[in-house]
Amino acid sequence: MNFTKAAVAFGSAIGVQELLKSVQRVTMDDVLGVAGLERRPSGIAQVLPAALLITVSAAVGAGVALLLAPSSGSKLRARLSDGIDEAKHKLSDSISQLETSRAQRHSVS
């Protein structure tokens, strides 16, 4: 009989521990979901997508405005060509610096 009481007490202790673990995993969203409710999104969560959309739209608009600005086609092509050439030079300089630093690291090792 003492064994039965001890087994029941031990089983109850294990059951209580499992119950506590289950209760700790319950979130407010779970409780609200049982009642058929949900949390309202924060103000930032509502404003951030709109702000990103405005920023992207402004960047696209600025690019279109530059392309459609009143200048001759040859001037626009020259500006674009100069910009592309400058970007190519910067990229090649960066690559050469990376290669020299890589070579220096390998020579030290």
Residue 31 in any domain: the answer is yes
Per the structure, the complete domain to which residue 18 belongs is given by 1-41
Residues 14-40: pLDDT tens digits?
777 776 777 778 788 887 888 887 777
How far apart (Å, rounded) are the C-alpha atoms in residues 76 and 66? Answer: 9
Give the helix/strand (H/E) hosting 27: none
Residue 50 in any domain: the answer is no
Residue 46 in any domain: the answer is no
**Rounded to 5°, angle at Cα 100 from 96 and 103:** 135
- Which pLDDT value is given to residue 44? 80
Ranges of the chain whose pLDDT falls below 70 = 1-8, 10-11, 19, 108-109
The tally of domains found in the chain comes to 2
Residue 56 in any domain: the answer is no
Residue 17 in any domain: the answer is yes
